[in-house]
Structure 1
Amino acid sequence: MNLQYLCLSSAYSGSFLKNMTMVAPNGLSIAAVERETGLSKDTLRVWERRYDFPFPGRDEFGERIYPPEQVEKLRLIKILMDRGHRPGKIVGVEMDELRAIVRPEGSAEAVADDAYAETEELLHFIKLCKAHRLDEMRRDLSQSLLRMGMYRFVTDVVAPLTTMVGDHWAKGDLAVFEEHLYTECVQMVMRNAISSVPAASIHAGMPMRPRILLTTVPNEPHGLGLLMSEAILTLEGASCVSLGVQTPITEIAKAVQVQSADIIALSFSASVRPAHVLESLGDLRAEVPDSTEIWVGGRSAVLVRRPPPTVRVLDLDELRDALDDWRRRNAN
């Protein structure tokens, strides 16, 4: 072994050890980052070479380890890519600017969502979420539900509060796990409340139709909008069957047949690519009978700009009228 090889080997080892010192104690492996962000391992490696981001450290085995702040930035980048932004234009952008792009002031989406006010009650729940006081948050949500009733609880608390949670996450005020904690609390409270509604509706003589199947399509993991819709529809005497989130199109079609569903209710968040929304709705329409209506809601911009003519786009406060309309048209 010659002296030149020894020098090169020593220099490489020093560089490798220096890179190892960059490891964050709570960093994620490349496989974990792929699961967390939806960006493939190959994409992460290509960006590392092409854009110098992300720049992971190394563990004791030489495997890539990504610090939490880089993972957070990758999540924002993925959201923007799903909206049509090119990675080369946004990978080098700072976090604050990325958040502003995700939710620009004055945008149609921001103006619509700014219709709510950050009241003391809503801010109270945000504070509980940040403090991780989950039992207290569940208790206070339940008390609000009992005081206001299901309909107003959904429209005046859960809907604006969910928007607030998304805003605070986009601003960096809430971590992803805290957003998940909020979701779990709301789901628990609302599920318990929904389970008590059907018996009351039957007792009041309300017709248990239409029969509505609720779900989201693959690549749409957000289910709170669906749960809010289910609460209102159930309260209004509809018979609701929830499949949860991310149900394959073919399985939705099978469930429609087995459950004799009159309506499919879907929710799309702003993070879903517009092309995926339109493609999913087109595929579903082709799979189910023409007599089965498709109702959609959520914050996907494409539903406002150019919804397919074969679906009905509804806000939460339009569900009651939509049910009345369906019942008039299907009175026989």
Structure 2
Amino acid sequence: MNSCNDPLPMALSIAAVERDTGIGKDTLRVWERRYGFPQPGRDAHGERTYPTAQVEKLRVIKRLMDQGHRPGRIVAQSMEALRHLSRGEASLQPSQDTPHVQGQADLMAYVAMLQTQDHEGLRRELLKTLSKDGLQRFVVEVVAPLTAMVGDTWARGDLAIHEEHLYTECVSSLMRQAILAIPKPANGGQPTVLLTTFPQEAHGLGLQMVESLLTLQGCRCVSLGTQTPVHDIAQAAMAHRADVVALSFSVNMNANHVVAGLAELNLLLPTSIALWVGGQAPVLRRRPMERVRVLHDLTSIADAVHDWRRLESHHHG
């Protein structure tokens, strides 16, 4: 997966790099000034263009940041140093909300199928696990830790980007089918939840995991996918008569974008619509925000839905 061996080197626009890596445009510009990387070229219109080798390095940096590394310590390092860091320190680290995750050996077997291009076997085995364990356990005990393992394996250079994309598509399609198969609850007492991300957030697998668990809780979910402008989020919430807007933020999200976007959304939404946020963005833990409920892990989703129902019954009691 060394891009130096690519037969046709390409250069991507800053918008394409943001979509591909999940690193915001503003962050890329700041790193360019502060750390001397990335080092984009310019197209005929003077716009930044990024060679594929730099984009590949940015993906590795993003993975390391997701594992808790600070950008100031890793952005200026060589690709070899970054891969060495991943190889030496990356490991399966189940989140606190998954105390009984599937065994690491079982998870590694899924990764091995990816590495041998056995996508049919991967889908078959994941479907078997989903059918046996149910959607709740599948999301919490398999998808969450397996996604972290796939990311770690890719960051070490042991998984190609097309294999990671295949994994994402396979898991997403299985969750989509499972969500559609969940019986619809009777009317009344069920919140309508609008799910999406801000324009700077391109990763949607976590959002789909949340949608799965919310649907199991009886919520009516309306997913807009990723990268929705704030004004459009507010318009969609009112058009669908949403009770809750749920947003996901990964670790690389610029803190100012998070705070400013949530403040703007608060102004645009009526007070009757709750705001739930989750993900790894540190600012969510550091700075309490008015009307914003932080879902610290997957298990807190059920608590949030329970509290919404309790307040709703109180208002109508």
TM-score class, shorter-chain normalisation, is 0.7 to 0.9
Could you tell me how far 1:231 is from its partner in structure 2? 0.8
Partner amino acid, structure 2, of 1:326: W
Structure 2 regions of 5+ residues with no counterpart? 42-48
Report SS of the residue matched to 1:240.
strand
Could you tell me how far 1:76 is from its partner in structure 2? 4.0
Matches within 5 A, 1:178-217: 178-197=163-182, 200-202=183-185, 205=186, 207=188, 209-217=190-198
Could you tell me how far 1:320 is from its partner in structure 2? 1.1
Q: Percent identity?
A: 42
Could you tell me how far 1:118 is from its partner in structure 2? 5.3
Mapped partners of 1:67, 1:54: distance in 2: 12
Rg: which structure is higher? 1
Is the aligned partner of 1:170 residue 2:175?
no
Structure 1 pair 100/118, CA: closer, same or farther in 2 (3 Å)? farther
Could you tell me how far 1:111 is from its partner in structure 2? 8.3
Mapped partners of 1:54, 1:118: distance in 2: 42
In structure 1, the residue matched to 2:291 is 310
Check whether the contact 1:24–1:66 (CA below 8 A) recurs between aligned residues.
Answer: no
Partner amino acid, structure 1, of 2:236: A
In structure 2, the residue matched to 1:246 is 227
Structure 1 pair 67/282, CA: closer, same or farther in 2 (3 Å)? closer
In structure 2, the residue matched to 1:156 is 141
1:259 to 232, 240, 243: 240
Report SS of the residue matched to 2:299.
helix
Could you tell me how far 1:94 is from its partner in structure 2? 2.1
Is the aligned partner of 1:73 residue 2:50?
no
Structure 1 pair 121/330, CA: closer, same or farther in 2 (3 Å)? same
Partner amino acid, structure 2, of 1:192: Q
Could you tell me how far 1:263 is from its partner in structure 2? 0.1
In structure 1, the residue matched to 2:203 is 222
Is 255-264 or 121-130 further displaced after alignment? 121-130
If the length of structure 2 is used for normalisation, what is the TM-score? 0.77
Mapped partners of 1:300, 1:39: distance in 2: 13
Structure 1 pair 211/73, CA: closer, same or farther in 2 (3 Å)? same
Report SS of the residue matched to 1:261.
coil
Deviation per CA, 1:20-71: give whole Å up to 9, x if none. Answer: xxx854343223687245698xx89x97xx9698699xxxxxxx99464x43
In structure 2, the residue matched to 1:325 is 307
Could you tell me how far 1:90 is from its partner in structure 2? 5.2
In structure 1, the residue matched to 2:77 is 93
Structure 1 pair 26/153, CA: closer, same or farther in 2 (3 Å)? same
Could you tell me how far 1:191 is from its partner in structure 2? 0.3
Deviation per CA, 1:234-291: give whole Å up to 9, x if none. Answer: 1111111111111111111111111000000111111222222222212211111111
Report SS of the residue matched to 1:251.
helix
Is 245-254 or 95-104 further displaced after alignment? 95-104
Could you tell me how far 1:98 is from its partner in structure 2? 3.5
Report SS of the residue matched to 2:277.
strand
Structure 1 pair 290/105, CA: closer, same or farther in 2 (3 Å)? farther
In structure 2, the residue matched to 1:129 is 114
Structure 1 pair 93/255, CA: closer, same or farther in 2 (3 Å)? same
Could you tell me how far 1:206 is from its partner in structure 2? 7.6
If the length of structure 1 is used for normalisation, what is the TM-score? 0.74
Partner amino acid, structure 1, of 2:205: L
In structure 1, the residue matched to 2:273 is 292
Structure 1 regions of 5+ residues with no counterpart? 1-22, 57-63
Check whether the contact 1:99–1:170 (CA below 8 A) recurs between aligned residues.
Answer: yes
Report SS of the residue matched to 1:222.
coil
Check whether the contact 2:153–2:159 (CA below 8 A) recurs between aligned residues.
Answer: yes
How many equivalent pairs are there? 291
Check whether the contact 1:234–1:240 (CA below 8 A) recurs between aligned residues.
Answer: yes
Mapped partners of 2:134, 2:206: distance in 1: 18
Structure 1 pair 65/196, CA: closer, same or farther in 2 (3 Å)? closer
Check whether the contact 1:28–1:65 (CA below 8 A) recurs between aligned residues.
Answer: no
Structure possessing the higher relative contact order (Cα contacts under 8 Å, 6 or more residues apart)? 2
Structure 1 pair 293/99, CA: closer, same or farther in 2 (3 Å)? farther
